[in-house]
Amino acid sequence: MLSGKTVICVIPAYNVQDQISRTVKGIGSYVDFIIVVDDRSADGTCDVVRQIQDERLILLKNEVNMGVGGATVNGLKKGIELQGDIFIKVDGDDQMDTEKMVDLITPLFQGYDYTKANRFLHSKELNQMPMLRLIGNFLLTFLTKIASGYWNVFDPQNGYYAIKRSVLELLPLDNLHNRYFFENDILINLNIIRARVCDVPIGARYADEKSSLKIWKILLYFPPLLVRRFLRRVYKKYILYDFSVIGFFYIVGLLLMSLGSLFGAYHWFRSVWTDMVASTGTVMIAVLPIILGFQLFLQAMVIEIQEIKDQSAIIKK
């Protein structure tokens, strides 16, 4: 037990027969249960797990491949059944430094609800990260900051995190994205319930593991999801649950930018089709809503950033 708390470690595993043993064996004795969820692996992952001698170990097997999100949710639900108080999610590919797990847990006793490892504070590990993966992470980090509202959080794709049971039970586990968007989706939903989130500097290890996440899939698949989740977050947090000026600025700003863009696009195509240049007045009618809308949208972002800073300052005190 850690300060009288039951600690659960959930490990989604898919085709990691060469790494899963090192991952499990690296988990400290303060963890009460280790739940490995085999996500319909095509290799010997299950056989390797069965051979590990650890009385804390629980093996779950998905009948169909559910993705990292679906596998993690199954493990978290099992942990809730076991009356866990603190839940830690670790990938099965031995990329995550389990020796630093205590560092991840500690802020949960200092007022935070969710802590997440940040790989980008260690230059050594960053140099080991493949360039395409690095570019993809930086791009998605910026987009996720906008979508989630957590401007104090970096490296949102990092799957090494810890969460309190009281907060976990407020999340719509069955409605979270099942695959690689899972971590981003958690952050967005945490913001809706106003959970307190912080980064913990923990590096990663890159060795013989192979990532199935391709950069082109990220760039095509994630942005539309982030836009939809952003709109849902703004509606739920700032309109449905508690009407706020932030929601007003976001919605009106988006409407003005959309109307200005549509009006401008229509007249641009019309000019091309008829070979007639649009008048200065027409151009101004298109540009002004875009400028005003962008200013309102930016103001909403600034207010959110300030709220996060104030929240962090209160916790530190």
Which of these ranges, 48-57, 61-70, 100-109, 302-311, has the smallest mean pLDDT?
302-311
Q: pLDDT > 90: what percent of the chain?
A: 73
Structure token pair of residue 204: 């990663």
Structure token pair of residue 264: 């401008």
Interval 131-142 mean pLDDT: 77
Interval 2-22 mean pLDDT: 93
pLDDT tens-place string over residues 242-268 = 889 999 999 999 999 999 999 999 999
Tell me how far apart the alpha carbons of residues 87 and 104 are, in angstroms, rounded to a whole number.
Answer: 11
Tell me how far apart the alpha carbons of residues 63 and 61 are, in angstroms, rounded to a whole number.
Answer: 6
Tell me how far apart the alpha carbons of residues 270 and 280 are, in angstroms, rounded to a whole number.
Answer: 15
Tell me how far apart the alpha carbons of residues 110 and 162 are, in angstroms, rounded to a whole number.
Answer: 13
| CATH label, 7-222, candidates 3.90.1640.30, 3.90.550.10, 3.90.1010.10, 3.30.420.40 | 3.90.550.10
* pTM recorded for the entire structure: 0.88
pLDDT tens-place string over residues 39-95 = 999 999 999 999 999 999 999 999 999 999 999 999 999 999 999 999 999 999 998
Q: Which amino acid is at 297?
A: F
Q: Which residue has the tokens 């109307």?
A: 259
Interval 204-212 mean pLDDT: 60
pLDDT at position 277:
84
State the chain's mean pLDDT as an integer: 89
pLDDT at position 73:
97
Do 247 and 239 contact (CB within 8 A), yes or no? yes
What are the sequence ranges of the domains in the chain?
7-222, 244-316
Q: Is the pLDDT of residue 212 over 70?
A: no
Q: Which residue has the higher pLDDT, 66 or 121?
A: 66
Assign 317 a pLDDT band (cuts: 50, 70, 90): very low
Do 183 and 213 contact (CB within 8 A), yes or no? no
